[in-house]
């Protein structure tokens, strides 16, 4: 069993993946500050703090994250719908993890494994 777990963990690190950041649960009820920590496979770490104002929308949260992670930090990002931001990769390597830390509210993060295209 331990060999299987080790093989699965190794495959998960090697397989290409995307991190989906879902902001749809934000309802703009109060001022919230949360920290973002993105770790790349090469060991580089990007951290920043974001403050959300009351009565802001999930779209504005997504746009704030897109500017902070895409324009400022140089990650490749794209949008899906109104509430979801996709982190594809860093400038030099793939992304290992995306973490949000807050006492009140934070976006949901899902990891999606990518299936390689057939040649």
Mean pLDDT score of the chain, rounded to an integer? Answer: 86
The C-alpha atoms of residue 37 and residue 75 are separated, in whole angstroms, by 13
pLDDT at 11: 67
Tokens read off for 84: 């979801």
Say if residues 29 and 54 touch (Cβ distance below 8 Å): yes
Position 63 pLDDT exceeds 80: yes
Residue % of the chain over a pLDDT of 90: 45
pLDDT at residue 36, rounded to an integer: 94
When pLDDT is averaged across residues 4-19 and rounded to a whole number, the result is: 76
The radius of gyration computed from the CA coordinates of the chain, to the nearest angstrom, equals 16
Give the pLDDT confidence score for residue 109 in this predicted structure.
Answer: 94
Q: What is the pLDDT of residue 12?
A: 66
CATH 2.60.40.4390 fits 16-113, yes or no: yes
C-beta of residue 96 within 8 angstroms of C-beta of residue 9: no
Q: Is the Cα torsion angle 65, 102, 50, 39 positive or negative in sign?
A: negative
CA distance 70 to 36: 13
**pLDDT tens sequence across 76-105:** 899 998 889 999 887 788 888 999 999 999
Judge whether 105 and 34 are in contact, CB under 8 Å: yes
Note the pLDDT tens digit of each residue in 66-80.
999 888 788 889 999
Q: Are 26 and 116 in contact (CB under 8 A)?
A: no
- Domains of the chain by residue range: 16-113
């Amino acid at each position: 069993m331990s060999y299987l777990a080790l093989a699965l963990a190794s495959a998960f690190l090697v397989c290409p993946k995307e991190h989906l950041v879902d902001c749809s649960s934000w309802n703009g009820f109060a001022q919230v500050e949360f920290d973002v920590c993105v770790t790349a496979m090469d060991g580089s770490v990007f951290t920043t703090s974001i403050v959300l104002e009351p009565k802001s929308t999930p779209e504005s949260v997504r746009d704030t994250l897109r500017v902070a992670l895409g324009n400022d930090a140089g990650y490749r990002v794209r949008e899906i719908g109104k509430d979801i931001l996709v982190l594809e990769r860093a400038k030099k390597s793939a992304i290992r993890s995306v973490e949000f830390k807050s006492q009140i509210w934070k976006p949901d993060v899902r990891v999606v494994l990518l299936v390689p295209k057939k040649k």
